[in-house]
């Protein structure tokens, strides 16, 4: 299978770039009752990359997944992403990699993000930032899948308004996408819930990321948008948000800065499986996935 990528650049032109799908023919479920989309929670450091490498192919096969998105902003030692890891994820079957507030932490990204349309950074960064905040992909059976990445502002950097940014993007891609998926990378649960309700009926799904704790509030909202406050974390299980527990506890006890290192030990993969009616492309179910493996 091949994917087509549409990048709507300035002046409303459309550039079409052919991309090879990374899931090695796992899209064999389409044509049945459902199209299945997997959103993988923040991949943290080497343990997260191992979890993705070991577990993602099994999940794709088990559930007949058609399209995979993953948040990769913590993939390189917990801070940002580099070219090697980006290529590794794409080979594993991840079609789109989203980012967040750590997008610029690894400066290597500046050398390739403009040339990698499958790597998205939050769209509400200033206009002169490199990279792109949304793109449209051709998925199974030619379905046009828009993926939008935005960052919250509560307890995070004071970027452009994420709500108005999504409004702007939806106007730009009107009639160009059959499915619209939003990764809202935000800290506050209230801001995430507000985004879900704000976009209800206007996008296919809103996936919250960033907090590294999977929430149990997955729902299809009244106007038909699938929503979850946080997809969770793919990384070290015995940790505090992916970091060694002793280091985080010490900081709370002493109120002094100290190193934060990625924890070792058992690993986990958190994700959300979204099922769409393959005729209407409306969500029919949203389910949490949590796989844990002892080291």
Q: So where are the chain's domains?
A: 35-290
**Residue 238 annotated in active site:** no
**In the chain, alpha helices (H):** 45-63, 83-91, 162-172, 189-199, 245-254
| pLDDT number for residue 9 | 40
The Cα 139–Cα 76 span in angstroms is: 28
The whole-model pTM stands at: 0.88
Tell me which DSSP letter residue 87 carries. H
> Residue 236's beta-bridge partner residues?
267
- φ and ψ of 152, to 5 deg: -75, 170
CB 97 within 8 A of CB 209: no
Q: Which of 102, 138, 210, 212 is catalytic?
A: 102
- pLDDT (tens, 9 = 90+) of the chain, 295 residues, equals 334 444 444 333 333 323 333 333 333 344 458 899 999 999 999 999 999 999 999 999 999 999 999 999 999 998 999 999 999 999 999 999 999 999 999 999 999 999 999 999 999 999 999 999 999 998 888 899 999 999 999 998 899 999 999 999 999 999 999 999 999 999 999 999 999 999 999 999 999 999 999 999 999 999 999 999 999 999 999 989 988 999 999 999 999 998 999 999 999 999 999 999 999 999 999 999 999 988 6
Task: Measure the CA–CA gap between 84 and 74, rounded to whole angstroms.
Answer: 14
CATH 3.40.30.10 is the classification of domain 35-290? no
CB atoms within 10 A of CB 19: 15
């Amino acid at each position: 299978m091949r994917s087509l990528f549409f990048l709507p650049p300035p002046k409303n032109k459309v550039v079409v770039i052919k991309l090879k799908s990374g899931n090695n023919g796992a899209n064999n479920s389409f044509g049945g009752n459902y199209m299945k989309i997997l959103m993988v929670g923040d991949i943290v450091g080497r343990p997260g990359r191992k979890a993705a490498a070991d577990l993602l192919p099994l999940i794709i096969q088990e559930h007949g997944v058609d399209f995979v998105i993953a948040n990769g902003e913590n993939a390189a030692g917990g801070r940002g992403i580099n070219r090697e890891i980006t290529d590794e994820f794409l080979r594993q079957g991840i079609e789109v990699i989203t980012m967040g507030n750590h997008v610029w932490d690894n400066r290597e990204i500046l050398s390739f993000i403009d040339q990698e349309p499958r790597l998205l950074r939050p769209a509400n960064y200033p206009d002169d930032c490199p990279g792109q905040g949304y793109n449209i992909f051709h998925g199974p059976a030619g379905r046009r899948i828009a993926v939008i990445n935005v960052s919250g502002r509560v307890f995070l950097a004071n970027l452009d308004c994420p709500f108005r940014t999504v409004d702007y993007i939806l106007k730009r891609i009107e009639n160009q996408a059959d499915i619209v998926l939003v990764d809202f990378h935000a800290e506050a649960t209230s801001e995430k819930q507000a985004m879900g309700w704000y976009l209800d009926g206007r996008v296919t799904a809103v996936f919250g990321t960033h907090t590294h704790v999977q929430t149990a509030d997955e729902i299809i909202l009244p106007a038909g948008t699938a929503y979850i406050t946080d997809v969770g974390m793919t990384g070290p299980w015995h940790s505090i948000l992916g970091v060694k527990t002793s280091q985080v506890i010490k900081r709370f006890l002493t109120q002094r800065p100290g190193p934060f290192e990625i924890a070792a030990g058992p690993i986990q993969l958190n994700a959300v499986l979204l099922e769409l009616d393959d005729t209407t492309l409306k969500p029919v179910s949203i389910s949490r996935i949590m796989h844990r493996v002892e080291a």
